[in-house]
Amino acid sequence: MNLALSDEQEFLREAARGTLSRFKTLEAAREALDGNDAALPDLWPTACEAGWPGLLIDEAHGGAGLDAFDAMLVLGECGRVLASVPLLGHLPATAILADAPKVADYLPALASGERRAAYLPSQPPTDVDPRWSADPAHGMERPPLATGAAPDAGGEVKLSGAYGFVPDAPGAGALVGVALIDGEPTGVVVMANADGVKIEPVRRYDATRSLAHVRLEDAAATVLDAPVESLAGAWHLAQALIAAESLGSVETALESSVSYAKERFTFGRAIGSYQAVKHSLTEVLRQLENGRSLLYYAGWSRNGAPAEFPLAASAARSVAGRALDQGARTMISVHGGIGATWEHDAPLYFRRAQLSRRLLGGTAAATDRVAGELIAQADAA
């Protein structure tokens, strides 16, 4: 039994914290909201220097050969300071590519970060929805994945379809996801500069989050030989990563709130001594600790118990999404009126919370999958 960080993992986390502390990410987030996009630092070179793009690629192909939990530690540090490092798009894409021997030659460039990929969110079926689906650009109805006819001799296909709110797609060189080829879910990679590929950057509410709608019209794509478990696994990995990133933000929100509750006095005593304030902060801690425990579950199960990874990652996402909402709202309320103004960092975390909870299927889809996975376990028992 060992659910603790190894020395290497502690070091990875501390190094990430140190690296990101060199940038004024929160000031940049505020300026970007005011329209100055140039304020947002390009953190990709920093990520490359630190070796983050290759976290999930094995050492033989130039990566670090680490696992999901290590990647989650880095995402957590990004979440703490709202750093826009395009790993949420890149890492799940590399997880699919690393399972496709056919494209092994491309891995070193992806591991070094010389090339950057973005994952096209492709949700696997559930017990109540047997279809694979893409994230919609609007509304609740989940559109089908892009489709293509049987590949030619070189493994090339022409794909048509759309993927909404693709994280980190703007500026990515390759788009990696799942398409229906001859009706079968199949891993595909599309070059961003290929004919028929339209990447439309979209900004919603949180300027630190780079997103795009991706439309494919007879776009040339390469079919990958990654197994279908790997295609589903990328979706669950993305859930675990955004969960880790969210909990990083909760950590900062809680630390800031606790520190203010100790120094702000009303009616002659620190507001943190009032039960109403103390209990609301304890509630954020409770949700944060639950989320942390589920990150361990997700990190362990991806290799330790792969059949449980969908449940573990979805549960982590579900709890982290609620924790982020609770943490951001509590941060505002504990700080009083000033917490709801442009003067304070709290609105930046609030904006992050609002948007994050709606990406990658949304917290709601993860919660529903938890129910489905458990109902299946109960049926089997």
* Contact positions vs another protein (CB under 8 A): 1-4, 6, 69, 128, 254, 258, 261-262, 269-270, 272-273, 275, 277-279, 281-283, 285-286, 289-291, 293-294, 296-297, 299-300, 304, 311-312, 314-316, 318-319, 322, 364, 366-372, 374-375, 377-379, 381
Structure tokens at 289: 């600790």
Angle at CA of residue 124, ends 212 and 250, nearest 5°:
60
- Closer residue to another protein, CB minimum distance, 101 or 336: 336
Least spacing, CB of residue 265 vs another protein, in Å: 10
Least spacing, CB of residue 228 vs another protein, in Å: 24
- Closer residue to another protein, CB minimum distance, 82 or 370: 370
Contact 306, 229 (CB under 8 A): yes
> Using a CB cutoff of 8 Å and minimum separation of 24, what contacts does 190-197 make?
190/159, 190/216, 190/219, 190/220, 190/221, 190/222, 191/220, 194/219, 194/220, 194/221, 195/219, 195/220, 196/158, 196/160, 196/220
- Closer residue to another protein, CB minimum distance, 183 or 268: 268
Least spacing, CB of residue 294 vs another protein, in Å: 5
Least spacing, CB of residue 13 vs another protein, in Å: 14
Say which residues have a Cβ less than 8 Å from residue 121's Cβ, sequence separation at least 6. Answer: 134, 135, 163, 165, 166, 167, 177, 235, 238, 359, 360, 361
Least spacing, CB of residue 66 vs another protein, in Å: 12
- Closer residue to another protein, CB minimum distance, 215 or 329: 329
Angle at CA of residue 34, ends 32 and 37, nearest 5°:
30
Least spacing, CB of residue 128 vs another protein, in Å: 6
- Closer residue to another protein, CB minimum distance, 36 or 273: 273
- Closer residue to another protein, CB minimum distance, 40 or 365: 365
Closest listed residue to residue 92, CA positions, set 63, 133, 56, 131: 56
Pairing of strands 174-181, 117-119: parallel
